[in-house]
Amino acid sequence: MAPVNLDAPGIAGDFFELLARSPGAPAIPRIDGTSVPAQIQATTVFAFHFADGVLMAGDRRATAGNVIVTEKVDKVIELDATSMMAIAGVPATAFEIARTLQTAFEYYRRSQLQSLSLPARVRALSRALRDNLALTLQGVGVVAPIFAGLDTTLAPASPRIFFYDPLGAQFLSTTHAASGSGSNSIRSILSFHERFGSPHPSRYPRRDAIRFALRLLMTAAEFDAATGGIEPTAARFASLKILSDQGIESVPDAEQAASLAAS
């Protein structure tokens, strides 16, 4: 790799200009003929209610501009035994937020001998996004996650879905939520099925919900280049987790394959 000339015009004191000029660094051209470094982005994620609880899903592709960085990203992250989040945006920031919340939730559980309430966990993620405001406003650390947690104040305990904007505003969803570059296609299909489907996705049994989630991601990938990594013929599947009154369960690739084959 050839060295970068640090004395070249426009280099000194400008980290992002230096990064853009580094050999092999993905970059996005600008209208003035210069370029800016392309951030790694992780998309697409969504969650919806089904008969057994909440299914949260994410594709496995991460991109930097027009470059596919990897097809093996796990975008659905367990925060504790009864809450999880799906990340859309810059993975470096999102993973750090997830690790911080995991540590905070576990510390509270061990020190107080009880878990944080669902409203407290919802606000903790909102606060973490607000603490990331400086990077969000610079456009270099934008994250727009989805959160699902178990409300243990109800009998029986019931899962809830929340979605966030990058500044930390939180919104409760009664049916579904989606985020990321392929979310428009997924949100439209989910809304259509919730209004006109028979049965509605909220009544799907487990196998049908898994098959539906995989089909949503494959459909989104047809219209969004940043969504991908789902190739059933090559035994590559999605990140799928289920939150029920029994806690969180990952859906293995074998079950995803069986659900598609049963259609």
Residues with a catalytic annotation lie at: 43
- Contact predicate 134/168, CB 8 Å: no
* Structure-block tokens of residue 203: 């009544």
Chain centroid to CA 168: how far?
15
CB 107 within 8 A of CB 57: no
Q: Which of 92, 155, 147, 151 is nearest to 124 (CA)?
A: 147
Gyration radius of the chain over CA positions: 20
Is residue 203 within 8 Å of residue 55, measured between CB atoms? no
**Cα angle 147-39-122, degrees, rounded to a multiple of 5:** 15
Name, in order, each residue with C-beta under 8 angstroms of 76's C-beta and a sequence gap of 6 or more.
45, 56, 57, 58, 84, 85, 86, 239, 240, 241
